[in-house]
A and B are shown apart, each in its own frame.
Chain A
Amino acid sequence: MANRKNDGYLSARESRRISRENRRITNAYEKQRKRRNVPEAEYTTAMRDPNNAVEFDNLHTYFFTDAGTVKAVDGVSFDVPIGKTVGVVGESGCGKSVTSLSLMQLLQRPQGQVVDGAIRLNLGDKAYDVTKTPNEILQHLRGNTISMIFQEPMTALNPVFRIGEQINEVIALHDGEGKSEDEIRKRSIELLEMVGIANSEGVYMMYPHELSGGMRQRVVIAMALACNPRVIIADEPTTALDVTIQAQILDLLRQLKDRINSSIMFITHDLGVIAEMADYVVVMYAGRVVEKGTAEDIFYHPAHPYTIGLMASKPVVGKKIDKLYSIPGKVPNPINMPNYCYFKDRCEMQVAPCAGEYPCEIRLSDTHTVSCYRYYEGKDGEGNG
Chain B
Amino acid sequence: MADNFTSVTYDDQYILMVNRLKKYFPIKGGMVSKTVGYVKAVDGVTFNLRRGTTMGLVGESGCGKTTTGRTILRLSGEKTGGQVLFNGQEVYDLSARELRKLRTKMQIIFQDPFSSLSPRLPVGEIIGEAVREHGLVPAAEFDDYIDHVMDQCGLQPFHKDRYPHEFSGGQRQRICIARALALNPEFVVCDEPVSALDVSIQAQIINLLKELQEQHKLTYLFISHDLSVVEHISDTVGVMYLGNLVEYGATDDIFSHPLHPYTEALFSAIPVPDPNAKMNRIVLQGSIPSPANPPAGCKFHTRCEKCMECCKTTAPEWKEIEPGHFCACHLYDDVRESNA
Contact of A247 among B198, B207, B228, B281 (CB under 8 A): B281
CB A349 to nearest CB in B, in angstroms, measures: 15
Count residues on chain B whose CB falls below 8 Å from chain A CBs. Answer: 40
**List of A residues within 8 angstroms of B232 by Cβ:** 315, 321, 324
CB B66 to nearest CB in A, in angstroms, measures: 14
* Interface hits, B167-225 → A, CB 8 Å: 168, 170, 198-204, 206-207, 210, 225
Cβ–Cβ contact B200 & A248, under 8 A: no
Interface segment among A121-129, A237-245, A361-369: the answer is A237-245
- A250 — nearest CB in chain B belongs to which residue? B271
Please, how many angstroms separate the alpha-carbon atoms of A245 and B284 in the complex?
Answer: 8
Given known pairs A275-B277, A324-B206, the reply for A243 and B272 (CB within 8 Å) is no
**List of B residues within 8 angstroms of A135 by Cβ:** none
Cβ–Cβ contact B228 & A316, under 8 A: yes
A213, A243, A246, A299: which has the most chain B beta carbons within 10 Å? Answer: A243
B60 within 8 A of A: yes
Cβ–Cβ contact A272 & B276, under 8 A: no
CB B166 to nearest CB in A, in angstroms, measures: 8
B265 within 8 A of A: yes
- B166 — nearest CB in chain A belongs to which residue? A7
A18 within 8 A of B: no
Given known pairs A243-B225, A243-B270, the reply for A317 and B231 (CB within 8 Å) is yes
Contact of B255 among A242, A313, A317, A327 (CB under 8 A): A317
B267 within 8 A of A: yes
Cβ–Cβ contact B274 & A244, under 8 A: no
Please, how many angstroms separate the alpha-carbon atoms of A212 and B286 in the complex?
Answer: 10
A170 within 8 A of B: no
Please, how many angstroms separate the alpha-carbon atoms of A272 and B273 in the complex?
Answer: 4
Please, how many angstroms separate the alpha-carbon atoms of A243 and B168 in the complex?
Answer: 27
Cβ–Cβ contact A244 & B60, under 8 A: yes
- A252 — nearest CB in chain B belongs to which residue? B283
B99 within 8 A of A: no
Cβ–Cβ contact A296 & B276, under 8 A: yes
**List of B residues within 8 angstroms of A212 by Cβ:** 287-288
Contact of A269 among B198, B206, B255 (CB under 8 A): B198
**List of A residues within 8 angstroms of B266 by Cβ:** 243-244
- A296 — nearest CB in chain B belongs to which residue? B275
- A315 — nearest CB in chain B belongs to which residue? B232
Cβ–Cβ contact B272 & A213, under 8 A: no
CB A159 to nearest CB in B, in angstroms, measures: 20
A273, A295, A313: which has the most chain B beta carbons within 10 Å? Answer: A313
Interface size grouping (class) on chain A:
35 or more
**List of B residues within 8 angstroms of A243 by Cβ:** 60, 225, 227, 266, 269-271
Interface string of A295-308 (1 = CB under 8 A from B): 11001000000000
**List of A residues within 8 angstroms of B313 by Cβ:** none
Please, how many angstroms separate the alpha-carbon atoms of A251 and B269 in the complex?
Answer: 11
Cβ–Cβ contact A315 & B231, under 8 A: yes
B229 within 8 A of A: yes
Cβ–Cβ contact A251 & B227, under 8 A: no
B314 within 8 A of A: no
CB A286 to nearest CB in B, in angstroms, measures: 13
Please, how many angstroms separate the alpha-carbon atoms of A215 and B206 in the complex?
Answer: 32
- A321 — nearest CB in chain B belongs to which residue? B232
Given known pairs A296-B275, A314-B228, the reply for A91 and B287 (CB within 8 Å) is no
- A246 — nearest CB in chain B belongs to which residue? B269
Please, how many angstroms separate the alpha-carbon atoms of A158 and B1 in the complex?
Answer: 44
CB A106 to nearest CB in B, in angstroms, measures: 24
- B268 — nearest CB in chain A belongs to which residue? A247
CB A345 to nearest CB in B, in angstroms, measures: 13
- A312 — nearest CB in chain B belongs to which residue? B203
A242, A275, A278, A299: which has the most chain B beta carbons within 10 Å? Answer: A242
Please report A residues at the B interface, Cβ cutoff 8 Å. 91-92, 212-215, 242-248, 250-251, 269-276, 278, 295-296, 299, 309-311, 313-318, 321, 323-327, 330
Q: Which 9 A-B pairs have the closest CB atoms?
A: A272-B271, A315-B232, A313-B203, A326-B203, A295-B275, A247-B269, A324-B203, A327-B200, A91-B198
Sample of 13 more A-B contacts, CB < 8 Å, known A314-B228, A316-B273, A317-B272: A91-B200, A212-B287, A215-B287, A243-B225, A245-B60, A269-B199, A295-B275, A299-B274, A315-B231, A317-B227, A317-B231, A325-B203, A327-B200
